[in-house]
């Protein structure tokens, strides 16, 4: 039976999962309930037949406009720690999932919205998208990994500038600095995201999962160790049915039929 969500829309169709933060009246802001449900949805994706997942926001104004400031304003330090821990767990589950996650950013992605997008494997954005870590304007700082993932994505110098100033960047500038992968007209965003998700889903699931794992681990280690990780994962794939099917299909000049084994 499909899971019922209070703050999300969730579906898996043609091996593509779509998770939509569904609080358009609040610009899809993150509160503890949204974080908890997103984590559950990531778990559901990881245990489905989805070959790729898209994360987006409801409406045409915001992907996720940040954390829910009204909710945060009432938090004690203990509650704030629990909120931050929950956000970090969500990002960790996205990164640890064998399924690639694509952020489809349709509007504002501020604070926790940028952090949610950064936890995904890559980001497609509407021309209307805006990114930023404006927490310093509230006397706060990023709490869901923004100080770390943003620097890894765009370099420490640019990340410091955005975090210290709280400035926002538009879609074109985000593409220029390497924060996002692609900019498309608003009406074409989900089409573009679904097209790339379908392409990924057509590949061998075990190979995709190994690629994701090795690239994530290798990014935080030295080159020699990272190449050892790659070599180990590479030769391990030769024992899979998908590798045998893929090479056989190539030689037989036909499309492969991967089973994820």
In total, the chain counts a number of residues equal to 261
- The answer to whether 16 and 197 are in contact (CB under 8 A) is yes
Taking alpha carbons only, the member of 242, 252, 241, 129 closest to residue 185 is 129
The residues, any chain, with a CB within 8 Å of residue 118's CB and separated by 6 or more, are 91, 145, 146, 149, 150, 153
Q: Which of 115, 127, 173, 245 is catalytic?
A: 115
Is 115 a known active-site residue?
yes
Question: Please, are residues 197 and 155 in contact by the beta-carbon 8 Å criterion?
Answer: no
Nearest to 168, CA basis, from 122, 121, 120, 125 = 125
The catalytically annotated residue of 135, 195, 228, 259 is 135
Q: What is the distance between the alpha carbons of residues 8 and 56, in angstroms, rounded to a whole number?
A: 10
Which of the residues are catalytic? 115, 135
């Amino acid at each position: 039976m499909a899971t019922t969500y209070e703050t999300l829309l969730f579906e898996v169709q043609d091996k593509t999962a779509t998770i939509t933060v569904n609080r358009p009246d609040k610009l899809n802001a993150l509160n503890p309930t949204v974080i908890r449900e997103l984590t559950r949805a990531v778990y559901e994706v990881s245990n489905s037949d989805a070959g790729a997942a898209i994360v987006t926001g409801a409406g045409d104004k915001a992907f996720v406009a940040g954390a829910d400031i009204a909710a945060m304003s009432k938090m004690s330090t203990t509650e704030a720690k629990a909120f931050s821990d929950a956000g970090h767990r969500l990002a960790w589950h996205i990164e640890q999932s064998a399924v690639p996650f694509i952020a489809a950013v349709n509007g504002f992605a501020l604070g926790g919205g940028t952090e949610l997008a950064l936890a995904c494997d890559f980001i497609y954005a509407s021309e209307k998208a805006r990114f930023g870590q404006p927490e310093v304007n509230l006397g706060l700082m990023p709490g869901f990994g923004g100080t770390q993932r943003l620097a890894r994505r765009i370099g420490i110098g640019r990340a410091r500038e955005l975090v210290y100033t709280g400035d926002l960047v538009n879609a074109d500038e985000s593409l220029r600095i390497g924060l996002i992968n692609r900019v498309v007209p608003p009406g074409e965003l989900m089409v573009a995201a679904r097209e790339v998700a379908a392409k990924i889903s057509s590949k061998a699931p075990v190979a995709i999962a190994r690629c994701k794992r090795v690239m994530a681990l290798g990014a935080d280690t030295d080159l020699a160790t990272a190449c050892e990780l790659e070599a180990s994962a590479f030769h391990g794939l030769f024992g899979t049915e998908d590798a045998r099917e893929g090479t056989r299909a190539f030689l037989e000049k036909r499309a492969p039929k991967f089973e994820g084994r």
